[in-house]
Homo-oligomer: A and B are copies of this chain.
Amino acid sequence: MNKLTHFDESGQAHMVNVGDKASTQRIAIATGKISMLPDTFKMVEAGSHKKGDVLGIARIAGIQASKKTSDLIPLCHPLALTHVSLEFQINANDNSITCQVKAETTGPTGVEMEALTAVQVALLTIYDMCKAVDRGMVMGDVKLLEKSGGKSGEWRAL
């Protein structure tokens, strides 16, 4: 059984020592979605090409949140992101919006948490902007899709 690296041998939390890890290019891609009522979905969809641009604002919120990851997640290392982008997909079949984030850096630690944090905050921002008309929206399927770089190399969700 592998161990949880965020704890030392006595079981105490620490910020893992990455001083000896090689600096490599790191990429992570994460995704998540928010499901809503058909009427709410239509409003968001409308805003994306005329006024009331919910997704444009959620995109900015996600980018800014990725920069706050080490402030939000206690044992995350601070790092200098070299790239963050968010794409939204509008799913008319089930009235949901999918958010996919790609984050990159060059350094000793990965950017999985930065990508996932951007997804979560982008979804929360959509929720915030639509909650006046639909409090029952549900956020889910938030997960890492793939990552590369570092000693563990490439990983892809099944």
Contact = CB atoms under 8 A, between A and B. Distances in A.
15 contacts: A1-B43, A1-B133, A4-B129, A6-B128, A12-B85, A13-B57, A16-B83, A18-B83, A61-B74, A73-B128, A78-B81, A79-B80, A135-B144, A136-B143, A137-B143
Interface in A63-110: 63-68, 70-87, 104-108
Contacts of A54: 4
A45 interface: no
Contact of A4 (B75, B108, B133, B144): B133
Contacts of A136: 143-144, 157-158
Interface SS of A by simple majority: mixed
A7 B61 CA distance: 16
Question: Is the interface on chain A under 10, 10 to 19, 20 to 34, or 35 or more residues?
Answer: 35 or more
B141 A140 contact: yes
A65 B56 contact: no
A93 to B, nearest CB: 19
A13 to B, nearest CB: 6
Contacts of A8: 85
Interface string A24-40: 01000000100000010
A44 B57 CA distance: 17
